[in-house]
């Protein structure tokens, strides 16, 4: 009985969150439906599951976070996805954003520099039978050139200075990229890039965000994620 009560409590919180997202300007019905279908609680460590449907970022270990639902929904909506799109995600993290995207696109490629996080995310994808996701442990700043060009690119870590040119070049003409840019964790803006031609990129600034930094190379993680990690570095 306690388990059933907990489930109903989570469902009620999810409904409140969806209503909150709508009030905050997330009006795309497909995005809201994907947010409703994907259970955020399975991507959140057990210590924080009671906060799964709060509109806040939560730590997932290794100094990384699962992003605030409003940011996830806003970035997803900005991509204007359809079921023909091939999408690249930089920063798999918990796998939550990837799971949302997988419900809206034809194929998703996602890169994570922390192997322990990637392994956990892939386990979740398998459990949920999300078969249109291909994941890789790699350097997200280099993108995934063998699969380029991509109709859409989403970056879930903040680029220092500007978005790497190698990533920009992997965006298809007519394609859209959404990424945070900023020189510090307190001075970041989400930007939307639209590639108009081989040489022309339109750029629109959206709103302030706080993400972990976009870093080069594969992380040298020497141990698995500690299930009792604390909330240090919990921002995004």
- The CA distance from 230 to 56, in Å, is 16
The structure tokens 């609680």 sit at: 41
Closest to 219 measured CA to CA, from 119, 123, 89 = 119
Kindly tell me the burial class for residue 186, based on how many C-beta atoms sit within 10 Å of its own C-beta (0-12, 13-18, 19 or more).
exposed
The residues with which 171 forms a beta bridge, in sequence order, are 150
How many Cβ atoms sit within 10 Å of the Cβ of residue 95? Answer: 29
E strand or H helix that includes residue 158: none
Q: Is residue 67 among the annotated active site residues?
A: yes
Q: What six digits make up the tokens of 149?
A: 């060009």
* 60 neighbors 93 (Cβ within 8 angstroms): yes
The single residue of 8, 46, 67, 145 carrying the catalytic annotation is 67
Which residues form the catalytic set?
Answer: 67
């Amino acid at each position: 009985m306690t388990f059933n009560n907990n489930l109903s409590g989570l469902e009620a919180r999810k409904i409140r969150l969806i209503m909150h997202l709508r009030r905050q300007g997330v009006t795309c019905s497909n995005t809201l439906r994907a947010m409703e279908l994907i259970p955020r609680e399975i991507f959140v460590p057990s210590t924080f599951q009671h906060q799964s449907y709060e509109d806040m970022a939560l730590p997932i270990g290794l100094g990384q976070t699962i992003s605030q639902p409003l940011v996830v929904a806003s970035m997803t909506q900005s991509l204007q996805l359809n079921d023909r799109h091939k999408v690249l995600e930089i920063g798999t993290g918990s796998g939550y954003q990837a799971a949302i995207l997988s419900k809206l696109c034809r194929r998703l490629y996602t890169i994570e520099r922390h192997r322990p996080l990637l392994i956990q995310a892939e386990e979740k994808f398998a459990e949920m039978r999300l078969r249109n996701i291909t994941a890789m442990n790699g350097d997200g700043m280099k993108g995934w050139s063998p699969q380029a060009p991509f109709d859409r690119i989403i970056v879930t870590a903040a680029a220092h200075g500007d978005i790497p040119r190698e990533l920009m070049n992997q965006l298809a003409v007519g394609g859209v990229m959404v990424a945070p840019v900023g020189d510090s964790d307190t001075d970041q803006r989400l930007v939307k890039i639209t590639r108009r031609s081989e040489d022309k990129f339109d750029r629109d600034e959206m709103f302030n965000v706080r993400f972990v930094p976009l870093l080069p190379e594969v992380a040298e993680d020497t141990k698995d994620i500690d299930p009792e990690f604390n909330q240090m570095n919990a921002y995004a």
